[in-house]
């Protein structure tokens, strides 16, 4: 959350560059005016980032509204289906992570029947992700992998978790 300014302005500027690049590459909007307004909103956020006294949330809210407007006017059937698939995967993944974190609080979590169901559901989500190559991003890959690994680690005893894995000798 940004109260007034981003905590890492350089990283924020890099992400803003990526967003602008996406909009520059996707110059096939049905409404050119909305496309231009979105690029202008990105420019405003960039200008505000350069000012020490600028109040960033106002520019970010305007950008959010323009991006939402752009998305509402530029969706075709194929992109709508992809968006719904991605939304579904993210929603399921967040639910799984929440359920998993709640589950590991109790004793012997790995032997509970719902743990097995949870693990199986996570594996199904990972399969959907692997099958949808258009969805592959480093962040989502890392998130899925970390959750799957957490699932495996919970199944280990405390002693197994503390025992280091031997390194192969060269």
Residue 170 has pLDDT above 90, yes or no: no
| Residue-range domain boundaries for the chain | 9-74, 77-162
The answer to which of 37-46, 107-116, 138-147 has the lowest mean pLDDT is 107-116
Q: What is the largest CA-CA distance in the chain?
A: 62
Per-residue pLDDT of 18-33, as tens digits, reads 999 888 877 665 678 8
Averaged pLDDT of the chain? 82
Per-residue pLDDT of 135-159, as tens digits, reads 999 999 998 998 888 877 776 667 7
- The pLDDT of residue 91 is 92
Q: Rounded distance, CA 158 to CA 48, Å?
A: 50
The position carrying tokens 């005893």 is 157
SS3 at position 44: helix
- The pLDDT of residue 16 is 94
Average the pLDDT over 92-120 and give the result.
73
């Amino acid at each position: 959350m940004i109260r007034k300014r981003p905590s890492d302005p350089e990283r924020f500027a890099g992400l803003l560059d990526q967003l602008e690049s996406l909009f520059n590459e996707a110059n096939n909007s049905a409404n050119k005016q909305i496309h231009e307004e979105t690029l202008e909103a990105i420019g405003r956020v960039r200008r505000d980032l350069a000012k020490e006294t600028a109040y960033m949330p106002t520019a970010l809210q305007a950008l959010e509204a323009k991006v939402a407007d752009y998305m509402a006017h530029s969706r075709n059937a194929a992109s709508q289906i992809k968006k719904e698939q991605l939304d579904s995967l993210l929603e399921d993944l967040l639910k799984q992570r929440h359920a998993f974190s709640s589950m590991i609080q109790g004793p012997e979590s790995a032997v509970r029947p719902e743990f097995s169901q949870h693990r199986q559901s996570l594996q199904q989500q990972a399969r959907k992700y692997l099958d949808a190559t258009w969805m592959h991003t480093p962040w989502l890959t890392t998130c899925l992998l970390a959750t799957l690994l957490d699932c495996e680690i919970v199944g280990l005893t405390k002693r197994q978790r503390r025992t280091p894995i031997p390194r192969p000798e060269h």
